[in-house]
Amino acid sequence: MPFRSPRPDVEIPDLTLYDLLFTSLSPEDLEKVAVVDGASGAETTYAALRDQVDAIAGALAARGVGVGDVVALHSPNSPAFVAVFHGILRAGATATTVNALATGHEVAAQLEDSGARTLLTVSPLLSAATEGAAAAGIASERVIVLDGAEGHESLADLLACGAPAPEVSVDPSTHLAVLPYSSGTTGRPKGVMLTHRNLVANVAQSADLVGVGPEDRVLAVLPFFHIYGMTVLLDLALLQRATLVTMPRFDLPEFLRIVQDQRCTFVFIAPPIAVALAKHPLVDEFDLSAVTTVFSGAAPLDGEVGGAVARRLGCSVRQGYGMTEMSPVSQLIPAGRDDLPLSSVGITVPNMECMLQDPATREEIPVPATGVSEPGELCCKGPNVMVGYLNNEQATSLTIDEDGWLHTGDIATVSAEGVVSLIDRLKELIKYKGYQVAPAELEATLLAHPQIADAAVVGGRDEAGEEIPKAFVVLQEGAELTEQDVMDFVAGRVAPYKKVRQVVMIDAIPKSSSGKILRRNLRGA
Ligand code: 4UV
């Protein structure tokens, strides 16, 4: 029997994201601060944010953007990101969010694959953006630089356009709201088709359990371009009429200063930030007494480290789990359940059904009457599960089986009480500081080197036990290439978080008879 949430199902409004977040703002809500720029302290109220979203939608519509168009957003977190993201959706278009660290080549790949014809970026990222746009055949007039740059329109131009927000009628159940990129269980990054209903559902499913409320000041350092930041921070906090405090990137002293000065109450992190909060001496020099909750996700949180953060900050530490393909949340430790072990990812969110499957036999693993189940691949169904991968039916059918189960590629156990713990990863995906690194992409990069005959990339560990990309390389005969040469070659071609950080030279890559790399044989090697 599959297992469900111990909590009752919730109602999922049949609305677009804009209608969910912005059409029922009360007079008091409108006066509240929706977004604070952490660096400058500049505030945007809900009223101003809604006006900006409408104005941006109008300006995009005046530039020919509408239902069926894909618009790329390539920016670190800022108040402008919030307005532009929702402006794109309000115009009826689909937003594809691009990692702010992407190289020009990576930007081009996403623009081409998603079919985006308009790109909104910021001046510090302009070189990658223009390189990517040119390679994808996007005219420079269609590259809008939010903070302004010579020869490009800016956010100020969009806001001053004066065109009314268009009348758009879409079906929330089928209309694509966003196309984030994920490599899923195998291969290169693919566009994940998420509808308005997927996103609205996941916000509704997780809002009560996450526990952000209208009085919260939520630190938004995790990127909005990644699904965790997009749903759990950006959309959930706005639905709850909380205040988002944005930071463009993680920097420990600035992070601590903003949490202190902005009196942040809710801090969403990925595990590397937990390590800093648990151990770094600087933490003692700041007043972090407003923090009630630190919430971690995107990679495994060490239970000891999480406990140390809770004691040091005197706050609740919890964690959530999910994946881009589930919009993303499927399990989390709910507010008020600090008794659940931090080494677990908590309970299933409402309206979802999950089961564990033996990857070898495809048999379902039973949930025990007492104690903990055997491990198996976590498979999930629910209104938050993606439609599929863009233009890639083969990858879609490998991930969502004929019975509708999404295969997460994660190995988990479940207790009789429905508490899920992740214990291993079946899929090839590597998580570096919570960011996705697709081995297939790095293997293709390595094979482009004339002196490399074959290569395989798996998740290794650094001295601190953090997961890192590790390459096994077979050299061409007579090649004179050092481990450092290999790392430098890759570093020059990929975003910094994808760098290969360990190299092992070997004679042959272990492969199955069908030619698939036997990654398991390389993982501990
Ligand atoms: O597709 P993705 O990059 O998605 C994410 C989602 C992060 C979330 C989701 C719900 C939350 O409540 C939250 O706090 C954070 O990262 O990568 C998906 C893969 O990342 C690993 C796992 O292998 C997924 O399939 N992963 C995500 N969260 C955890 C995790 C976790 N808490 N513990 C271990 N692995």
Q: State both tokens at 108.
A: 């081009």
Cα distances (angstroms) measured from residue 85 to each of 78, 88, 121: 11, 5, 12
DSSP for 62-103, please give it: HTT--TT-EEEE---S-HHHHHHHHHHHHTT-EEEE--TT--
Confidence of residue 139 (pLDDT cuts 50, 70, 90): very high
Ligand 1 neighbour 410 (Cβ under 6 A): yes
Using alpha carbons, select from 75, 73, 72, 153 the residue that is nearest to residue 116. 72
pLDDT digits (tens, 9 = 90+) for 5-43: 999 999 999 999 999 999 999 999 999 999 999 999 999
Cis amide leading into 328 (omega within 30): yes
pLDDT at 464: 86
Evaluated on CA atoms 232, 235, 236, 238, the torsion sign reads positive
Q: Are 381 and 406 in contact (CB under 8 A)?
A: yes
Evaluated on CA atoms 334, 404, 399, 95, the torsion sign reads negative
Ligand 1 neighbour 99 (Cβ under 6 A): no
Confidence of residue 514 (pLDDT cuts 50, 70, 90): confident
pLDDT digits (tens, 9 = 90+) for 391-441: 999 999 999 999 999 999 999 999 999 999 999 999 999 999 999 999 999
In the reported structure, the alpha carbon of residue 219 is separated from the centroid of ligand 1 by a whole-number distance in angstroms of: 19
pLDDT (average), residues 182-189:
94
Task: Find the helix or strand (DSSP H, E) in which 43 lies.
Answer: strand 43-45
Q: Is the pLDDT of residue 525 over 80?
A: no
* Complex prediction ipTM: 0.99
Ligand 1 neighbour 522 (Cβ under 6 A): no
Ligand 1 probe mutation, 194, 206, 323, most atoms within 8 A of CB: 323
Q: Is the pLDDT of residue 189 over 80?
A: yes
In the reported structure, the alpha carbon of residue 308 is separated from the centroid of ligand 1 by a whole-number distance in angstroms of: 21
Q: State both tokens at 102.
A: 């992407």
Confidence of residue 523 (pLDDT cuts 50, 70, 90): confident
Give dist(CA 172, CA 174) in Å, integer: 6
In the reported structure, the alpha carbon of residue 328 is separated from the centroid of ligand 1 by a whole-number distance in angstroms of: 8
Confidence of residue 454 (pLDDT cuts 50, 70, 90): very high
Look up tokens 């293997």; give the residue.
443
Mean of all residue pLDDT scores within the chain: 97
Tell me the backbone φ, ψ of residue 460, rounded to 5 degrees.
-110, -170
Ligand 1 neighbour 348 (Cβ under 6 A): no
Cα distances (angstroms) measured from residue 280 to each of 275, 302, 467: 8, 16, 20
Confidence of residue 516 (pLDDT cuts 50, 70, 90): confident
Burial of 382 (0-12, 13-18, 19+ CB in 10 A): buried
pLDDT at 239: 98
pLDDT at 118: 98
Ligand 1 neighbour 321 (Cβ under 6 A): yes
Q: State both tokens at 376.
A: 């198996």
Q: State both tokens at 291.
A: 């923090």
pLDDT digits (tens, 9 = 90+) for 193-240: 999 999 999 999 999 999 999 999 999 999 999 999 999 999 999 999
Ligand 1 probe mutation, 178, 212, 228, 233, most atoms within 8 A of CB: 228
Q: Whose CA is nearest to atom 27 of ligand 1?
A: 298
In the reported structure, the alpha carbon of residue 380 is separated from the centroid of ligand 1 by a whole-number distance in angstroms of: 14
Confidence of residue 254 (pLDDT cuts 50, 70, 90): very high
Confidence of residue 184 (pLDDT cuts 50, 70, 90): very high
Q: Whose CA is nearest to atom 11 of ligand 1?
A: 320
Confidence of residue 465 (pLDDT cuts 50, 70, 90): confident
Q: Whose CA is nearest to atom 7 of ligand 1?
A: 298
Give dist(CA 455, CA 323) in Å, integer: 27
Look up tokens 């919570």; give the residue.
434
Give dist(CA 26, CA 83) in Å, integer: 19
The DSSP 8-state label assigned to residue 374 in this structure reads P
Q: Is the pLDDT of residue 524 over 90?
A: no
Cα distances (angstroms) measured from residue 86 to each of 71, 83, 176, 197, 230: 12, 5, 13, 15, 11
Confidence of residue 382 (pLDDT cuts 50, 70, 90): very high
Percent of the chain with pLDDT over 90: 97
pLDDT (average), residues 76-85:
98
In the reported structure, the alpha carbon of residue 8 is separated from the centroid of ligand 1 by a whole-number distance in angstroms of: 23
Q: Are 12 and 197 in contact (CB under 8 A)?
A: yes
Ligand 1 neighbour 227 (Cβ under 6 A): yes
pLDDT (average), residues 462-475:
94
pLDDT digits (tens, 9 = 90+) for 286-328: 999 999 999 999 999 999 999 999 999 999 999 999 999 999 9
Beta bridge partners of 191: 181
In the reported structure, the alpha carbon of residue 300 is separated from the centroid of ligand 1 by a whole-number distance in angstroms of: 8
In the reported structure, the alpha carbon of residue 336 is separated from the centroid of ligand 1 by a whole-number distance in angstroms of: 21
Question: What are the b/e assignments for 162-196, b being 16+ CB within 10 Å?
Answer: eeebbebebebeebbbbbbbbbbbbbbbbbbbbbb
Ligand 1 probe mutation, 321, 435, 467, most atoms within 8 A of CB: 321
In the reported structure, the alpha carbon of residue 331 is separated from the centroid of ligand 1 by a whole-number distance in angstroms of: 10
Tell me the backbone φ, ψ of residue 121, rounded to 5 degrees.
-140, -170
Beta bridge partners of 269: 296
Ligand 1 neighbour 319 (Cβ under 6 A): yes
Confidence of residue 1 (pLDDT cuts 50, 70, 90): confident
